[in-house]
Structure 1
Amino acid sequence: MEAPSARWLPDGRRLHLHHGPIDLIVEAFGRPDQISAAYAQAVRRFQTVLAELVDELPDLRRPSSLQGSRAFRGPTARRMEAATTPLAENFITPMAAVAGSVADEVMAAMISGRLLDRAYVNNGGDIALHLASGQELTLAIAGTGHGFADRIVVRADEQVRGVATSGWRGRSFSLGIADAVTVLARIGAEADAAATIIANAVDLPGHPAVQRQPAREIAPDSDLGGIPVTVGVGTLTAEEIAEALERGLSVAEDLRRRELIIAAALFLAGDARVAGDILPALTNETETSLAESSRVMPRGSVLAHRSFPA
C-alpha cells in the first residue's frame, strides 16, 4: 500500500491527508503558531491510523454486541466499538463508525495541548469538530428541500462535536432507501454509527420499486456479508415516502431520547423529517447555492455531506 501523504489544498489553509481509503480535509482557526503545531500533530498521528485498523480488521468486521465492548488494541478501533455497542440491538459492526472514529482520532491528536478557536476534520462527510467557548461553525448539508435550509449553525454550547451522513446513494452500503440522513452527535463516531442505523430504518421492506443485492456480490469483503443492500430506488408515492421517513424518524427519536444523538435530518425524494433542534444558518442573497458550496464555502464553514447524486 502507498505511504500516507499530506499536502496543502490550493487555498493554502486546508490540509489534505490521504492513505488508502482514508481522505481527510483538516482546517484549524486560531493563532498561527497554534495552528501550525496542530497540523503537525495531526500529520504525525495520521501516519499509523490505517495500519492499526488493518491489524484488527477481521474482528472489526464482526457484529457488535449489547453484552459489552470487546478489547481492541488500537484507539481508533476502540472508538468504533464504543460507538456501535449501544446500537447492537440491530445488526451493526464497528465498521459502521470507522470514518467518524478516524476523524475523532485525528482531531484528538490535533488539539492536544493546543489553543485553537475552531477546527474540523472532515472524513468524506463524517466530521469531528472542535469549538472553543463562544465559537460556531456553519455546515452545508445534503438532501435539503421542503423549506429546510441548506446550512446549519453548530455552536460551542450545543455540545455537537460530530456530524455524519449516511444513505443508499453514499459511498457505503445502506439497508434502507434514504437519500441522506445527517446526524449531529457528541462525537464523530457516534454520529457515524447512528446515521447508519437511522438510514437503514428509512425503508419500505419488500417494495417492488426498491432494488437490493447481497453486499458480498458487490464487495466480497464487506462486513455485511450476504445481507441485501439497496442499489436502486424507483418511483414512490407521496404516502410511501412519508411512511419510509416516519420509520426512520421513529428510530432517530428513540436514539435522541437515549441521548445517543443530539439531532438528525432525514431526506427522501424531496421530503424531509427532523428529530431534535437543528438551527438554520443565516443566509444572504450573495452566498453560493448548495450545488456550488462543495467548491466555494464561506471561511469558517464546512461541507457536511458526501457527494450524493441528484
Structure 2
Amino acid sequence: MKRLPQIALLPDGKRLHLQDGPIDLIVEAKGNDADVGAAYEAAARRFTGLLDELCAELSELRSAADPARCSLKGVVARRMHAAVAPFAADCFITPMAAVAGSVAEEILGAMQGAARLDRAYVNNGGDIALHLAEGEQFTVGLMDRPDRHGLLRTMVIEADDCIRGVATSGRHGRSFSLGIADAVTVLARTASQADSAATIIANAVDLPGHPAIVRRPANELQADSDLGPRLVTRDVGKLSNDEIEDALAAGARRARQLLVAGLIEGAALRLLGEIVVVGVTGTPTQGSQALHNQTIESMMHA
C-alpha cells in the first residue's frame, strides 16, 4: 500500500469520515465516550488497506458471479459474492453490485467487535449498514434521486425490526444502471443484501426498446466497467403515465419476488415523480408506527 486513507472527525465532532479512492464513508456511533472512541479506532484500522484488498481481486470481482462456487479470498470480496449469488443464475451480475454495502458491513463489524454501542451506522455513499441496540431507532430518508437532496418521505427502522441494511440504486447513482428508475431504495437484513437487490430491482424498472430512452455501451463510457458492452441508461425522455406505470410495475414484480424469497424486507421504486412501495410503508418521524409487516403497494405523486 503506497498511500494512506483520509481519516478525520467531521466538524460536528460526532461523525468520522473515512475516504480512500472511491470509498467514502460517514460513520457515527452512539454510546459512552470510551466505547465510541474504541469503535472509531477499530473502524480506522480496518479501513486502512481495505481498498488494496479489493483491488488485489478486482479482475474476478468484475467478472460474472458463479452462483455455485467462489474462489475469492478476501472477507469483503467473499461477502460481495455471497450477496449477488442468489441472482447470478438468472441474470448477469458481478460481485461489484454489492461492493458499497459489503464495505459498510465490514467497517460496522469492526466497530461492534471493539466496543459496546447503543447505535451505529456506516454510510457508504447512501448504502448503509446499521447497528441498533434495544430501544434504538434509525430514520431513513427516501430521496427523489440519489444526486438530489429533497426528501419525499421517511421510514423509521426500530431495533425490533430485522432490517440492518439500506441501499439505493438507479440511473442517477454512482454506478451504471440497465433500467430507467430514478432511484430504488431497498431495506434488507444486511447492507450487502440491500445493495445487490437494489441493483436487480432498478434494472427491472424498464421499457425495453422505447425510443425515448437513450442507452450507451457501458465500456464506451468507462473502459473498465464490469458491465462491458451492455447498454446502460443515459437519459429518459418524455413518457406517458401508462408507460411510467408499466415500468414501475415491472420493477415491483421483481421486488415482490425478492420479498417472497426473503431476500429483502421492502423497497421503494421511483420514476419521473411516481413512487411504488413494496413490502413496507413509512410514516413521518413523529409517527408512532413506521414499519408494517404486511405487503403493501401504493402509487402516489411525488
| TM score, norm. by length of structure 2 | 0.90
Deviations 1:138-197 (A, max 9, x none): 1212128xxx95211011111111000000011110000000000000111100000000
**Structure 2 residue 218 is the aligned partner of structure 1 residue 251:** no
Alignment-mate amino acid for residue 102 of structure 1: V
Q: Which residue of 2 aligns with 1:291?
A: none
**Structure 2 residue 115 is the aligned partner of structure 1 residue 108:** no
**Structure 2 residue 179 is the aligned partner of structure 1 residue 165:** no
Q: Is the 8 A contact 1:162 1:188 kept in 2?
A: yes
Alignment-mate amino acid for residue 124 of structure 1: G
d(CA) in 2 for partners of 1:64, 1:186: 21
Task: Give the SS at the match of 2:160.
Answer: helix
Task: Give the SS at the match of 1:157.
Answer: coil
d(CA) in 2 for partners of 1:31, 1:253: 41
Give 1:186-205 correspondences, 5 Å limit. 186-205=189-208
Q: Which residue of 1 aligns with 2:158?
A: 155
Deviations 1:208-262 (A, max 9, x none): 0100000000000000000000000001100000000000000000001000001
**Structure 2 residue 29 is the aligned partner of structure 1 residue 19:** no
d(CA) in 2 for partners of 1:171, 1:205: 22
Q: Which residue of 1 aligns with 2:83?
A: 83
Q: Which residue of 2 aligns with 1:296?
A: none
Q: Which residue of 2 aligns with 1:302?
A: none
d(CA) in 1 for partners of 2:152, 2:30: 25
Deviations 1:102-126 (A, max 9, x none): 0000010011042111100000001
Alignment-mate amino acid for residue 282 of structure 2: L
- Give aligned-pair identity as a percent: 54
Q: Which residue of 2 aligns with 1:43?
A: 44
Alignment-mate amino acid for residue 78 of structure 2: R
Q: Is the 8 A contact 2:153 2:282 kept in 1?
A: no
Q: Is the 8 A contact 2:130 2:165 kept in 1?
A: yes
Give, in angstroms, the shift of residue 282 of structure 1.
2.5
Q: Is the 8 A contact 1:149 1:281 kept in 2?
A: no
Alignment-mate amino acid for residue 32 of structure 1: D
d(CA) in 2 for partners of 1:266, 1:150: 13
Q: Is the 8 A contact 2:142 2:153 kept in 1?
A: yes
Q: Which residue of 2 aligns with 1:305?
A: none
Q: Which residue of 2 aligns with 1:234?
A: 237
Q: Which residue of 2 aligns with 1:52?
A: 53
Alignment-mate amino acid for residue 253 of structure 1: R
Q: 1:283 to 1:270 in 2, by over 3 A?
A: farther
Give 1:294-309 correspondences, 5 Å limit. none
| Matched positions, count | 281
Q: Is the 8 A contact 2:139 2:285 kept in 1?
A: no
Moved over 3 A (4+): none
Q: Is there any run of 5+ residues in structure 1 with no aligned partner, and where?
A: 285-309
d(CA) in 1 for partners of 2:66, 2:186: 22
d(CA) in 2 for partners of 1:183, 1:211: 25
Q: Is the 8 A contact 1:149 1:280 kept in 2?
A: no
Alignment-mate amino acid for residue 244 of structure 1: A
Give, in angstroms, the shift of residue 283 of structure 1.
4.5
Q: Which residue of 2 aligns with 1:4?
A: 5
Q: Please point out which of 200, 219, 224 is paired with 2:222.
A: 219
Task: Give the SS at the match of 1:245.
Answer: helix
Q: 1:218 to 1:149 in 2, by over 3 A?
A: closer
Q: Which residue of 2 aligns with 1:64?
A: 65
Q: Which residue of 2 aligns with 1:265?
A: 268
Task: Give the SS at the match of 1:35.
Answer: helix
- Structure number with higher relative contact order (C-alpha < 8 Å, ≥ 6 residues apart): 1
Task: Give the SS at the match of 1:241.
Answer: helix
